[in-house]
Amino acid sequence: MTKLTRDDLWSLEVYAQRRNEFRTEAMAHKRLRQLLLGEHLRLFFEDRTTIRYQIQEMLRVEKLFEAQEIQDELDAYNPLIPDGANWKATMMIEYTDVAERRRRLAELVGVEQRVWLQVGDLDRITPIADEDMERSTDDKTSSVHFLRFELTPEMVGAACAGAPISAGVDHPAYNIGPEEVNEELRKALVSDLKPVAH
């Protein structure tokens, strides 16, 4: 999947005119690309559309229009777009009650490395987490993590050929799955992959 450039972005003025329509489109797209594991852990699988929306919103909120400022946002967010042999996801740990959230984040240290995906009956894939910065301490994990799931050529081929994709979490304080992802999400994940030519 090609990375975004300045040519893919609207100016602040144009975005102000198109924002409502694009936001509706981006939110609908994002809904198809999310996976809830249990009641409190959600993965949002990123792609060009979700990241483009994120960048446009950042430029709008921060009122950024200088060329270097725009490039800085592109440099920060482009690594979250999948590269054809991986899936990239933002992971959210969701507890509405503040005291419960604090307690659970302390119990869930390391959970970001214990999420897994599986194509068919091939090996489970555990993610490379938070490459941009460390988001956990020995005492608690963060409620937001960025995950990269690297696939072998065999996994890419199997997914593109229609193999089911399942997911789960293997953590002592949060054990979920295996759960098969729905067909909409499976198609979205396959669209992120580039089949390997033989």
Q: What is the pLDDT of residues 13-68, one digit of tens each?
A: 999 999 999 999 999 999 999 999 999 999 999 999 999 999 999 999 999 888 89
Does residue 17 lie within any of the structural domains? yes
Q: What is the DSSP string of 59-108?
A: HHHHT--SHHHHHHHHHHHGGGS--SSEEEEEEEE--SSHHHHHHHHHHT
Asked whether the beta carbons of 157 and 147 are under 8 A apart, the reply is no
In a domain, 134, yes or no: yes
* Structure tokens, 38: 């249990």
In a domain, 198, yes or no: no
- % of the chain exceeding 70 in pLDDT: 94
Domain hosting 49: range is 6-191
Rg (CA), the chain: 18
Tell me the percentage of the chain whose pLDDT exceeds 90: 81
Per-residue confidence at 177, pLDDT binned at 50, 70, 90? confident
Would you give the DSSP letter of residue 112? G
| pLDDT > 90? residue 196 | no
Q: Is residue 1 part of a domain?
A: no
Q: Is residue 12 part of a domain?
A: yes
In a domain, 35, yes or no: yes
31 within a domain of the structure (yes/no): yes
Domains contained in the chain, number: 1
pLDDT over 90 at 160, yes or no:
yes
- Total-model pTM: 0.89
* pLDDT above 70 for 86: yes
Do the domain assignments include residue 135? yes
